[in-house]
Chains A and B, each alone.
Chain A
Amino acid sequence: MNATTPNRRRLLRTAAAVVLGSLSVASLAACSSGSGSSSGGEASGSAEISFWGWVPGLEDLVDQWNEENPDVQVDFHRMTGDDGQKVEAAVDAGAGPDLVQLSTHDLPDYVISDRVQDITEFVSDEEGNYTAASWASVSFDGKVYGIPQGIGPSGMMYREDILAQYGIPVPTTWDEYLEAARALHAANPELYIANMSPTEFGQWVQEVSQAEGSWYSIEDGAWTVGIDDEKSRAIAERWQTLLDEGLVTTEQMWTPEYWALVNAGTIATISYAAWFPSQLALNAEETSGKWRVAPMPVNAGSSNQGDSGGAAVVVLAGAKDPGAAAEFAAWLNGADETQETLITVGGLFPSTTNGLASDALLQESEFYGGQVVNEVFIEAAENTPATWTEGPNFGTATTALTDEFSTVVNGEQTFVQALEKAQKAVVDDLKSRGLSVNE
């Protein structure tokens, strides 16, 4: 026994080490599999369509459709948590839904990897009902890949009481914004004009869009990456000044810590999209009646507003009856009868002409002192330049940018340096995918 035990034990230990060491490899393989779309022929007259989405109130609309359209029955699944990240794997495995709600930022990647279907033939006559910018966000290379569902025009929520108390006029330009920031912090060192959340890329995107910039553009059949362009650098310098002078807090948005700052009245303004006012009302109940909405400050000599991005309903690769799926999507987002529910229950800011004309949009809000806040956002939507272009590897761009910004707010580097690094990460990634990139 003495002779064999040590050897046997060593063998067992080594075996254990091999097994345990390889677990990390094993856990990953499940994540990756070749992409391929399943296609089956279902030629019967009635269709069943599965639809994943997150907008509140979709259940009611789906019920309404199912009642009116016995031939095309829709099965709705409410997306929660990280369901959005499961969609791609589900599509690749041939187990995805027929329709899914998607951020338009992510759409190019879906197109490039063949995870969505071209639905141009089914929906081209819908174009007239949608804003030009939203229709452009679902069109690539002359083909339509989805039906827009809501956009995110910008506005500035501000604490009317705080600005009034310190005699600071509501800033209308970014130059005035900097002055207001200095005046406010000088009057009361506990107060800050804004919170610069390093992880909330939507706030950054809306200012890039306002400045007529774009992270991606197409020139001579190749992608140009503009994360680090002149327009973005100007925004970087604006926030660098605010940061260096200690005029902003840098909490991560959506955390209890962030809402504590908001509720305590530490932050005087929040610039964000049209869907944000209802979130603010939900998370800062104590401050009801103290907020108002004004246009986001503009750049000198311009009246541009920005947009942080919209959503779309797209037909996924595995859908057996893309025509029926597209028909439902077009009804859901564009029919006259659905607009009110999408706006009031769903909290969407419409990308449709009939939605923008809907009375449902012009409700007074008690939280904002009786203001009709959407009047601001309707004007913002009209003043949003059409320069922003969606491009591939948006996930790489946001990951790189938020990682770099997190070290900026710690003082380890500047916003400009962060943009340089994010630009490089995105360009390298595009090249490694074999895409043509202008440099």
Chain B
Amino acid sequence: MPSPAPAFSDNDLIGRVLLSDDRNAFAELVRRHQSALRASLRKMTHGNIELSDDIAQETFILAWKNIRSFRYEAKFSTWLYRIAFNAWQSEIRKKHELTMDDEQMPEPEPQAPESERTGVQRDLARAMVDLNDGERNAILQCYYNDLSHEEAAFVLGIPLGTVKTNILKAKEKMRARLTAYQTGQGVAA
């Protein structure tokens, strides 16, 4: 479990990394943020644990290499989400290029077992199928990563207005889907 009262703030630990390449301080940062980051990536990768952990590891390595560019303007966790999102995007591009080269269909993403999901979670997951990438990413960052619209815009590298529009559109689509399920007119996902 995460330690209840950290003796050092994230910024203290970053300072130690910058000052003396302190790997123990960086390890503490990894320990603190690994759960949230891995959970976020699992959501992004539709529950692909192996892939999400690989991207999480790559994210922390990139953070280590580029920690001098961290300007304390955002929280460390938000900065990590930004690196992770970019790593995930390049993974998608890589996958897409491979698919184009091999002319193969992409493998379906593994999903969390149905038995582990409640009815609401199942409905939400099905309702999110209709969302485009921008809408889905905005929902993931703002709800599941608990970021403000401004922070989500920073993570996703898009204008604030686009985040707000994507959230509104996403919720509208999901509302329509969920209403359809309730009235028994749902389309099989």
A, B: real partners: no
Give the interface of A toward B (CB within 8 A).
none
